[in-house]
Structure 1
Amino acid sequence: MSTLLALDASSRACSAALLIRRPGETDALIARFAHTPREHTRRLLPMIDEVLAEAGLDPTALDAVAYGRGPGSFTGLRIAAGVAQGLAFGLDRPLLGVSTLEALALSAHRRHHFRHIVTALDARMGEIYVAAWRCHDGIVEALSAEAVLPPERLRLPEESDEFDWVGVGSGWALREAMPATVLASLGQCLVDPEPAAEEMALLAARDLASGGGQPAQAVQPVYLRDTVAWQKGR
C-alpha cells in the first residue's frame, strides 16, 4: 500500500486529499474542499486530520506529501507550503510541488472530459496566470509554459485552430480584455472552478512514480511574477 497526502490553499478554496493505492485494487481518494477566503490557516489542519481519520491512518503511514506550489495567492501558497514542508520534514518523507494550473486542467478533464484546455487564474494587478494543456485518458500534457501576463496579451498555441478550446478558471472573468482571436477559438468557458488537492494528489503520485519528490526544504512555491511572456507550444 502507498499513501500520499496533498494540500492546497492557492485560491479562495482550501482543500486536502489522501490518495491510497493498494496492489490490485481501485485507488481510494478521500478529499475535503471548501471555499474559505481568509480562513485557510484555520481550516487546513482540521482537513488533514479529517482525511487521515476517515482512512484510519496515522500521519506516519504517509509515503509522501504534496501541495499546490502555485501560481496563486501569495499568502495561500505560503500557508500550504509551510504546512506541507513541516509534515514532510517531521516525517522524513519526500515533498512534491504541483502546478495549480495543471491541477485545474486535470479537474476539468476528469469532470467534463475536455481535451484542450487553457487554465487561467486571476493574478490581480490586471494580469492572469495562464497555461494551455492537452488532456487524454487522464494524462495532462503541457502545450505552453506557465506565464503571468495582461489578458490582452494572451495567445493560444500555434496549433490552436485545430482544436475546440475550453477556458477554465477565475482568470476568464477578464475575457472581455482578451484578443478576439482567442475568444473566437473558445468553445466554452468555466470561470468558477478552483484548483483542488484531489487532482494534486493524482498528479503528485504520477511524479513520485517517475522519480519525483525532494527533501522538504528543497521545494518552494512558484509565484511567476518574473515571467511575463507567453511561450507558444512547440
Structure 2
Amino acid sequence: MPELLAFDCSTDTLSVAVQHGDRVVARTQAGGAQASAALIPLIHELLAEAGLTLGQLQAIVFGRGPGAFTGLRTACAVAQGLGYGADLPVLPVDTLRAVAEEARHATGVRQVLAVLDARMDEVYAAACDTTTGTCAAPHLMAPQQVEVPAGHLLAGNAFAAYGERLPADAPRHACLPTATALLRLAPALLAAGAAVPAAEAQPLYVRDKVAQTTAERQAAKAKAEAAGAGAAGPALPAAGADPLTREGRP
C-alpha cells in the first residue's frame, strides 16, 4: 500500500488521515472557519503518529469540491504548499465521489446518489457507481428537484437541513466525504494517472457566485418553490455521463 496523506475540509467537519502500509491513522474535528488554522498542525500530528515524514509520502490526496468555498481554497492551498515543499504529486478527488465511497463502505450499496448541503437552499448532487468507479458531474439544485435513480442509495449530509424536501421513497444514509474514503479511492485513481503536479491542483466549484443580494436570494427561493410545485426538476445524469459543471476560481 502506498504512503499517503489525505484531507477534506469541504464541509463543517475537518477530516485528515495518513496511510503507512496497512496502517491508517485518522482524525475528525470541527472544520469550517477553523479549518485554515487547524489543518496543518493536525497533518503534522498524524504524520508523527504514523511515523512518516512528508518526503516519504507517494502523494497528497485532497477533496477538491464541490463544497464550502473557504474550505476548498484551504485544502487546495495546503495541498499545493506541501506538494511544492516535498516535491510530491497531489491527487484531487471529487467530494461527492468520496461521499459515495463512504456510503458504500458503510452499507455495501454500490449505486449511490451523493448529496451535500450547498447552503443557500440548494444541494450538490451526483449519481455514482462505485463498482465501475464512475460518478456523473455534480449538479447544483433545489432539494425538491433531486430525483433518485432506481436502485440508488441517497447518501450525504443534506438530510438535517432538507430532509422533508428530499425524496422520501429512497433509502438514506447520512455520511460525509472523509479522509479515509479518499485513501480507499486513491490507489485506483493514482494507477489511472489522476495525480497532478502541485501547481495544477485546483478546487472544483459548481456555484460560480458565493454572495447574493437579498433580492437575488428571494428570487432564487421563489424559483425553487415554483419548480418543486410544478414539473419535476432536471434529471441527474447517470454515472459516467459527460460533465456539465464549470470549474474555476471566483
TM bucket by the smaller chain?
0.7 to 0.9
Question: Structure 2 CA distance, aligned partners of 1:99 and 1:108?
Answer: 15
Pick from 142, 154, 158 the counterpart of residue 167 of structure 1.
154
> Are 1:141 and 2:134 an aligned pair?
yes
Deviation for aligned residue 1:204: 2.4
Output aligned runs, 1:80-95, within 5 Å.
80-95=75-90
Q: Which residue of 2 aligns with 1:20?
A: 20
Question: Which of 188, 202, 219 does residue 220 from structure 1 map onto?
Answer: 202
1:28-47 matches, cutoff 5 A: 28-47=23-42
Deviations 1:46-65 (A, max 9, x none): 22112211121111111111
One-letter amino acid of the counterpart of residue 216, structure 1? A
Aligned residue type for 1:190? H
Query: For the residues of structure 2 that align with 1:153 and 1:110, how far apart are their CA atoms?
Result: 27
Shift of 1:89: 1.1
Query: Which residue does the alignment assign to 1:183?
Result: 168
2:225 aligns with none
RMSD over aligned CA atoms reads 2.2
2:190 alignment partner in structure 1: 208
Q: Is the 8 A contact 1:145 1:230 kept in 2?
A: no
TM-score, with length taken from structure 2:
0.78
Once residues 77 and 153 of structure 2 are traced to their aligned partners in structure 1, the CA distance between those partners, rounded to angstroms, is: 33
**Per-residue deviation, residues 34-85 of structure 1 (Å, max 9, x unmatched):** 2334211222112211221112111111111111100100001111111111
Identity fraction in percent: 37
Structure 2 Cα separation of the partners of residues 197 and 2 of structure 1 = 15
Structure number with greater CO (CA < 8 Å, separation at least 6) is 1
Q: CA deviation at 1:230?
A: 5.0
Higher relative strand content: 1
Deviates more, 1:165-174 or 1:197-206: 165-174
CA distance in structure 1 between the aligned counterparts of 2:234 and 2:72, rounded to whole angstroms:
22
- The alpha-carbon deviation at position 156 of structure 1 amounts to 3.2
Match of 2:147 among 151, 155, 162: 155
Q: How many residues align?
A: 215
| Aligned residues of 1:70 and 1:221 also touching (Cα < 8 A) | yes
d(CA) in 1 for partners of 2:168, 2:36:
37
- TM-score calculated relative to the size of structure 1: 0.83
- Please say if residues 97 and 204 of structure 1, whose CA atoms lie closer than 8 Å, have aligned partners that are also in contact: no
- Deviation at 1:229? 6.0
Distance in 1 of aligned mates of 2:189 and 2:90 = 11
**In structure 2, the residue corresponding to 1:39 is in which secondary structure?**
helix
> Which sections of structure 1, spanning at least 5 residues, go unmatched?
22-26
Matched letter for residue 215 of structure 1 = P
Structure 2 unaligned regions, length at least 5: 209-232, 242-250
Query: Given the alignment of the two structures, is residue 198 of structure 1 paired with residue 180 of structure 2, yes or no?
Result: yes
Instruction: Label 1:123 to 1:9 Cα distance change in 2 as closer, same or farther (>3 A).
Output: same
Question: Residues 112, 35 of structure 1: CA spacing in aligned structure 2 closer, same or farther, 3 A cutoff?
Answer: farther
Q: Tell me by how many angstroms 1:205 deviates.
A: 2.5
How far residue 153 of structure 1 moved from its aligned partner, in angstroms, is 2.0
Which whole-Å CA distance do the structure 2 matches of 1:209 and 1:65 have between them? 14
Q: How far is the alpha carbon of 1:213 from its aligned partner?
A: 1.0
**Alpha-carbon contact 1:106-1:140 (below 8 Å) kept:** no
Task: Say which SS state the counterpart of residue 126 (structure 1) adopts.
Answer: coil
Worse-matched range after superposition: 30-39 or 88-97: 30-39
Q: How far is 1:140 from its partner? A: 3.6
